[in-house]
Structure 1
Amino acid sequence: MTGVDSDIALKLDWNLVRTFLVIVEEGSITGAAIRLDLKQPSVSNALRRLEETLGHRLIERGPRNFAVTPQGQVLYAEARDMFGAIERLPGLLADVSGEVSGTVALAMATHVVSPLVDGTLAEFQRSHPSASVSIHVRSSRQVVEDVRARRAPLGICLAGRHYADITYTHLYTEHFGFFCGPGHPLFGRKGLKLEDLAGERSVSFDTDQIDDVLSPVAVLRARASFSGPPVGVSNNLEEVRRMVIAGLGIGPLPIHVVARDCADGLLWRLPPYDDPPAVDVSVVRLKGNRLSRAEAAFCAILDRRIAETPLDSRTYGLDRHFSRSANPRTVPPRIVPL
């Protein structure tokens, strides 16, 4: 392929660039086709046309190979910033008016549960009734990517790898426990030890890996000696919860998030009861990113609430918040799984 000519801006089809962005984000032609609601050959053809226009191979692909080339990585970084800025134009244009208006786009990991977030949403709406909030639920990895691409002014997620262009503000710490559903043989049993879980089937999150955001949970899973790899995996907390309740296996869940489920007899807390693994949830923002008035106002409220709340009150899932085992005093009646 040859180099790029001087009037590339006039020749470039920006829809092709947008398709390329989605291909990289999804990690495959097939995934991009599903997200864009297009036929796979159409997506492949768009990538080929873009490569011909730019004169460079952007993605090495084959039956078992998918790798973004150095040229593709440069294009992705530049295009991500450009499209992110364009998507935020409505909010910036709304700043021309005298009042705080426009939409604050939040990228949030699945099932973020914190009174700090709820209080910020309520106060923001009371203070700025002409503004609105849009919440997009993503995986923690995708939340960070949305913030880096300027598709969202801030995100709330589990922070794994730290990037130099991102600021991380500790929002709260949550603790994970192991749980089973009503149909499981260990449901309702007290006095269990971690070794009692050995050989049991399990379900988990796809980030439950030693080198990912749920590494503390992965370490504990290894100690529990479950039977083989998880029989069910998801990046969504509600789906992991569903699999646990349905009886597929034992699964890790944030203790404070499922306290009501335990009280209602849908879940039963299993060992270990002491020193459960802790995972930090952070507010992530792009350094130097220009915020609209609505976005700046939202961030100011959230930052103030974090600063005013002691760390002890932003730590969830320990004994001081729930009973020792997070199970009711008496065993509830068994409930038919979902």
Structure 2
Amino acid sequence: MDVDLRLVRYFLVMAEELHFTAAARRLYVSQPALSNQIRRLEAQLGFQLFDRTSRGVTLTPEGAAFVPHAQKALAAIRAGIADAAATSGRSDVLRIDVLESALAAPQAVLARLRDRFPTMRLEVSSRGSAEQDRRLLAGDLDLGLCGATATQPDGLDQLVIHREPLGVAVPAEHRLAKADAINLADLAHELHYLPRDDFAPEWNALVVAQCAAAGFSPRRHPASTDGTGPALELVRAGECVALGLLSTPCPDGVVVRPLRDAIPRYEWVVRWRQPGTQRTREAVDAISSGRSGSPLL
């Protein structure tokens, strides 16, 4: 059976969105055109992929069963193209998504890659760890840099490359700003800034778990910002405090203090799709070891 891979890609986007308008927007096609292409794929396969009702769109059992195989097929094609390009010496782009490129660990990773591969162009994005996993599995991303999670996603490899101590950012005029270290329990009545759950779920899980160990559930600041910088502006304005990494650069009016609690260090991991292209494996080796085996930071 011959199946058009372009239609498979349309199917996967539609399976994620379950909304023709949203999927068509992502694919830069019209909604009627997308609907026609999905019906064309269903005709090629011989079974229905989606149930379309007045309440919305859902995957049929056949469609749900087809999803992981479609993902693997499309990713394998993309990986094969990347390997072939690398063999011919034409692969000079590495697509990497990092959590917060302004932080010390991502900056060190990007600097190491530029040092090891001076002629390679880095395509750097910061869309969040959940989006990283989806893009890696789809073959739309080569590497992801984020925090470790309790379970490793199927189809991905990961390597812990750095462990960082945590601290807390408070306004410079805060009652605890001059303390040598802060007990987490002393922040029980503060508003805490947390990023969006769909951006860094592993970070939020760590913060919530540690606050629970200290005897409280953090009261969450209602704002959601794009990046650490705007979040620290909320701290500087006295609206909240924010747990973070001790290495985080802070603006005037904000200080970061270490925590006295025995809190686990934040684990930075680099992820890639199994088994990985030659270029991906070379990049992981460069990140994890450096030219002389030196640590990341």
* TM-score class normalised by the smaller sequence: 0.7 to 0.9
TM-score (norm 1): 0.66
Q: C-alpha distance in 2, partners of 1:30/1:224?
A: 45
8 Å CA contact 1:108, 1:157 repeated in 2: yes
Matched with 2:207 is: 217
Task: Name the SS of the counterpart of 1:138 in structure 2.
Answer: coil
Deviation at 1:32, TM superposition (A): 3.3
Identity percentage over the alignment?
22
Count, aligned residues: 290
d(CA) in 2 for partners of 1:219, 1:190: 26
Alignment of 1:1-338 (within 5 A): 7=1, 9=3, 14-26=5-17, 29=20, 31-36=22-27, 47=38, 50-51=41-42, 54-59=45-50, 68-88=59-79, 91-97=82-88, 99=89, 101-111=91-101, 113-114=104-105, 116-126=108-118, 129=119, 131-160=120-149, 161-181=151-171, 186=174, 189-191=177-179, 193-207=183-197, 212=202, 214-222=204-212, 223=214, 225=216, 228-233=219-224, 236-245=227-236, 247-256=238-247, 258=248, 260-261=249-250, 264-269=251-256, 272-289=259-276, 291-292=277-278, 294-305=279-290, 308-309=293-294
Could you give the per-residue CA deviations for residues 162-183 of structure 1, whole angstroms, max 9, x where no partner exists? 135332211111233332346x
d(CA) in 2 for partners of 1:142, 1:254:
22
* In structure 2, C-alpha distance between the alignment counterparts of 1:109 and 1:280, rounded to whole Å: 12
Alpha carbons 1:208, 1:214 under 8 Å: kept? no
State the distance in 2 between where 1:306 and 1:62 align.
58
1:286, CA displacement in angstroms?
2.8
Q: Distance in 2 between matches of 1:89 and 1:172?
A: 30
**Residues 253 and 213 from structure 1, CA distance in 2 versus in 1: closer, same or farther, beyond 3 angstroms?**
closer
Quick check: 2:148–2:160 contact (8 Å CA) kept in 1?
no
2:98–2:144 CA contact under 8 A, matched in 1: yes
Contact 1:201 1:231 in 2 (8 A): no
**Deviation of 1:186 (Å):** 2.3
Contact 1:180 1:249 in 2 (8 A): yes
Letter aligned with residue 19 of structure 1: Y
| 1:105 maps to amino acid | R
- Runs of 5+ consecutive residues of structure 1 not aligned to the other structure: 1-6, 315-338
What is the CA-CA distance between 1:38 and the residue it aligns to? 5.7
Conservation of the 8 A alpha-carbon contact between 1:231 and 1:248: no
Paired residue type of 1:305: G
Deviation at 1:95, TM superposition (A): 3.5
Partner letter of residue 158 of structure 1? Answer: G
Question: What one-letter code is carried by the residue in structure 1 that aligns with 2:189?
Answer: G
Distance 1:100 1:52, change over 3 A: closer
Contact 1:232 1:248 in 2 (8 A): no
TM norm structure 2: 0.73
Write the deviation string for residues 234-277 of structure 1: whole angstroms up to 9, x where unpaired.
Answer: 58445544544455422222221x2x31xx42423367344344
